[in-house]
Amino acid sequence: MTSPPLSSPGAGFAGLPQALPHAARFARLFSPRQWLALLAAAALLIVGLPLANLLLPEGHPLHVSDYSITLLGKILCYALVALAMDLIWGYTGILSLGHGVFFALGGYAMGMYLMRSIGRDGNYQSDLPDFMVFLDWKELPWTWWNTDSFLWCMVLVVAVPGLLAWIFGWFAFRSRIKGVYFSIITQALTFAFMLLFFRNETGFGGNNGFTDFKRILGFPIAAAETRATLFAITAFVLLAVLVGARWLVTSKFGRVLTAIRDAENRTMFCGYNPLGYKLTIWTLSAVLCGIAGALYVPQVGIINPGEMSPANSIEIAIWAAVGGRGTLIGPLIGAGLVNGFKSVFTVWFPEYWLYCLGLLFVVVTLYMPKGVIGLKASLSAAWAERKRRKPPETRA
């Protein structure tokens, strides 16, 4: 699912393609085999696994446990973040090391609604969240206004990460900050927000964050039916975003993004202003991370400032690199592989996980620059080159 070439052979850089008719764009969105694979994935994730969890007894060989549903749901949320990273890094060439803050802000917006939904079922039987009662708060701060409304919190899930990204991106891109300098200031951004949310007086639970959720939209959040539904919704959102991202990167807008990645100065010379394109894709990427965070919190059951740690943002970039950036499907595979391996490795050798993660990143950077998805093509090219260099008499 790699992006199409910037322009046809011989057309020159200035030959950025004009918008194609709708039917032509739809026809090249996916091949028939890719559409079939997408429909099969949708049937398995949205219908098959939830029903296997709810309808099949525990002793059945095809039964999917509650733990597996929760773990897979968490990985699907991470895959959505990896897809967002691929749009900004793989297709636009902007490496962000601060996407964790957008993920966490979306999670906090959902967490505020879930905390308000507890009502008087908390330990202190108060209308205020338990942590506020413990800290002797008398009323909700202004940031919690209307957070008992699910629709308003969904607006916050999109608006807060999007607005922060737009403001940050406006100043950064307008100043033409790029490369390692942009990566460093995004890392500083997420670290600053982590320190802010660790403070009790901000009204977001301090280092404990939000937890002990009871219900969502009136349904018990710990019920198997609720967890299966949340998993199915997460899978649907991920697949829908994948289709939308594919349409985006194959459109004229996506080709301009690729041009900015490969030769920003020449793109400007051709009459395109990179500011608007970079700001749009940067904001969209942040919003997708916020949505992923909102889906993550009710399934995992907790959100705290640790999600904003710089290490988490670096790990997001590793998912995209391991899977293969600039491919859309590669980061999804990378997120699944890394987090699946992490779930096993941290049980056996938890203290060595960060060393293993760093080694993985070094190996992928040096020996698998196209990631897992490009491994087959790289091996085929290496084998063909080896055969070409053999003396004629030694060839089979």
Quick one: which of 103, 92, 100, 77 has its CA closest to 248? 92
Asked whether the beta carbons of 73 and 301 are under 8 A apart, the reply is no
| Count of beta carbons in the 10 Å neighbourhood of residue 187 | 18
The per-residue pLDDT for 65 is 92
The per-residue pLDDT for 306 is 92
The per-residue pLDDT for 186 is 96
Quick one: which of 373, 39, 70 has its CA closest to 239? 39
Please provide the average confidence, as pLDDT, over all residues in the chain.
Answer: 87
Quick one: which of 311, 244, 315, 300 has its CA closest to 107? 300
Q: Percentage of residues in the chain with pLDDT exceeding 90? A: 66
- pLDDT value at 19 more than 60: no
Dump pLDDT digits (tens) for 114-165: 999 998 888 888 888 988 998 888 899 999 999 999 999 999 999 999 999 9
The per-residue pLDDT for 390 is 67
The per-residue pLDDT for 232 is 96
The per-residue pLDDT for 142 is 92
Find the range with the poorest average confidence among 25-34, 55-64, 232-241.
25-34
**What is the DSSP pairing of strand 210-211 with strand 215-216?**
unpaired
Give the whole-angstrom CA distance, residue 46 versus residue 42: 6
E strands, the chain, where?
Answer: 210-211, 215-216, 219-220, 302-303
Residue the block writes with tokens 């990378």: 334
Dump pLDDT digits (tens) for 184-204: 999 999 999 999 999 988 999
More confident residue, 376 or 241: 241
The per-residue pLDDT for 394 is 52
The per-residue pLDDT for 22 is 44
> Cα-atom radius of gyration of the chain, to the nearest Å?
23
Dump pLDDT digits (tens) for 280-307: 999 999 999 999 999 999 999 999 999 9
The per-residue pLDDT for 236 is 97
Asked whether the beta carbons of 212 and 118 are under 8 A apart, the reply is yes
Task: Please name the amino acid found at residue 194.
Answer: M
Confidence of residue 103 (pLDDT cuts 50, 70, 90): very high
Confidence of residue 8 (pLDDT cuts 50, 70, 90): very low
Rounded alpha-carbon distances, angstroms, from residue 25 to 3, 29, 30, 320: 13, 6, 10, 26
The per-residue pLDDT for 364 is 82
Quick one: which of 252, 377, 258 has its CA closest to 3? 258
Q: What is the pTM for the complete model shown?
A: 0.88
Dump pLDDT digits (tens) for 45-59: 999 999 999 999 988
- pLDDT value at 336 more than 50: yes
The per-residue pLDDT for 24 is 43
Give the whole-angstrom CA distance, residue 329 versus residue 288: 16
Dump pLDDT digits (tens) for 248-287: 999 999 999 999 999 999 999 988 999 999 999 999 999 9
Dump pLDDT digits (tens) for 353-389: 888 888 888 888 788 888 888 877 776 666 676 767 7
- pLDDT value at 34 more than 50: yes
